Amino acid sequence: MIGIISYGVYIPKYRIKPSQIAQAWGKEAADMEKSLGVLEKAVASVDEDAITLAVEATLNAASVIQFDLGKIGAITVGSESHPYAVKPSSTTIAGILGLSEQLLAVDLEFACKAGTAGIQLLSGLTESKRIKYCLAIGSDMAQSKPADVLEYTASSAAASFILGTQDTLANILDFTSYSSDTPDFWRRDTEKFPSHGGRFTGEPAYFTHVIGASSKLLEKTQLKPVDFTHAVFHMPNGKFPKEAAKRLGFSAEQIKSGFVVSQIGNPYSASSLVGLAAVLDIAKPKQKIFMCSYGSGAGADAFVMETTPLLRKFQRKNTNSVQSQIHHKQMIDYSLVARNIINKYRI
């Protein structure tokens, strides 16, 4: 059975509070964190991008089990902040990590679900035994227009998952997707920053697709929310995943362990995957995990996983857990963020 044999996360150490961003733009800052459900967000350094974040996450994944990355036969990199419009991130990451040149390398874009789409695509290659080990990455330096509502939550992080059929920490029991042409979020090729439909992004977009994919998978597997110990949903803010979980019948306790948005914000393609890693950091063997990502444009990928006894050994060796990186932080002033924006986009 296809499963996760190792995983790693990288969260930049810099943090900033949404209220400070609002204050910098002369907007109402009181209760900003409470209204968004986000206390602070992770900010990449000036010398970091989606590629460097992905490299760090993968090195963390490989180091725990001393995995030889030369054995990887396929890599997907899901992101909506690839550094180049024309030049693959996947080959650059593969080159830095020393992966074999006999390699399937693919860049994926589907807003915030590009990372989970990679897991689905690679699962087929691995389960069919065409490729023994695959690497699925979700990495983003989330884009947002200065002073736009997205700036309060858009953050940076990466999550990397090595997939295989032997010595798995968690097996992927099943998955499904739900997609439609719902233009809630977009950026044309010549534009520097994305646009969005405001309140339109909630009900007809996020909730329709997350609940659609989740309900379909629960029906397909004949499982109920009570059968799961943990659940993870894409976290664009602190409210949407809680509401989606409630509508589907999941409890606040089930989503607690993977609920990282309040501490790091929304790192787009890495959001649900960092949440999954946080769950795997503390889960026990033989526990079922439900996960559903969401990507604007729009679509959702839902997964059913079950942990194995090997997870305990991995947890003991893992020195770069999600919570350890969340707590390793340095608060910064918005002036530093503004300088980075000006330097990157020349505005």
Does residue 80 carry a catalytic annotation? yes
> pLDDT at residue 347 above 60?
no
Q: Which of 82, 112, 209, 306 is the catalytic position?
A: 112
CA distance 78 to 111: 9
Q: Which of 80, 196, 230, 306 is the catalytic position?
A: 80
> pLDDT at residue 234 above 80?
yes
CATH topology of domain 3-169+325-345: Peroxisomal Thiolase; Chain A, domain 1 (3.40.47)
Spatial CB neighbours of 155, under 8 Å, sequence gap ≥ 6: 41, 42, 43, 142, 264, 265, 266, 267
Give the pLDDT confidence score for residue 187 in this predicted structure.
87
- Average pLDDT for residues 166-187, to the nearest whole number? 94
Domain boundaries, the chain: 3-169+325-345, 171-311
Give the pLDDT confidence score for residue 199 in this predicted structure.
63
Reduced to 3 states, what is the DSSP secondary structure of residue 11? coil
Whether 254 contacts 225, CB under 8 Å = yes
pTM of the model: 0.96
Q: Which CATH class is domain 171-311?
A: alpha beta
Does residue 234 carry a catalytic annotation? yes
pLDDT in tens, 301-331: 999 999 999 999 999 999 999 999 999 999 9
Q: Do domains 3-169+325-345 and 171-311 have the same CATH topology?
A: yes
Q: Which of 82, 196, 230, 234 is the catalytic position?
A: 234
